[in-house]
Amino acid sequence: MTDQSYTTVDGLAVAEVTEKKSRFISSLSHAETEDEALAFVEAIKAANRMARHNVYAYVLREGGRVRYSDDGEPQKTAGLPTLEVVAHAGLTDVVVVTTRYFGGTLLGTGGLVRAYTASAQAAVEAARLVVVSRCVDVSTAVPYSLYEQAIRIADACGAKVERSDFSDEVALVFRILDGTQAPLEEKLSELSRGQAFVSVSEPFDAAF
Give per-residue pLDDT as tens, 46-68.
999 999 999 999 999 988 999 99
Q: Where are the domains of the chain?
A: 6-127, 131-207
Residue 1 has pLDDT above 50, yes or no: no
pLDDT given for residue 4 in this prediction: 73
pTM of the model: 0.78
For residue range 71-81, what is the model confidence (pLDDT) as tens digits? 999 999 999 99
Residue 194 has a pLDDT of: 76
- The highest-level CATH class for domain 6-127 is alpha beta
DSSP string, the chain: --TT-EEEE-SEEEEEEEETTEEEEEEEEE-SSHHHHHHHHHHHHHHTTT-SEEEEEEE-SGGG-EEEE-TTSPTTSSHHHHHHHHHHTTB-SEEEEEEEE--SS--HHHHHHHHHHHHHHHHHHHS-EEEEEEEEEEEEEE-GGGHHHHHHHHHHTT-EEEEEEESSSEEEEEEEETT--HHHHHHHHHHTTT-S--EEPPPEEEE-
Q: Which fold has domain 131-207?
A: Alpha-Beta Plaits (3.30.70)
Q: Which of 24-28, 102-106, 129-133 has the highest mean pLDDT?
A: 24-28
Average pLDDT over residues 139-165: 95
Res 162 pLDDT > 80:
yes
pLDDT of residue 207: 86
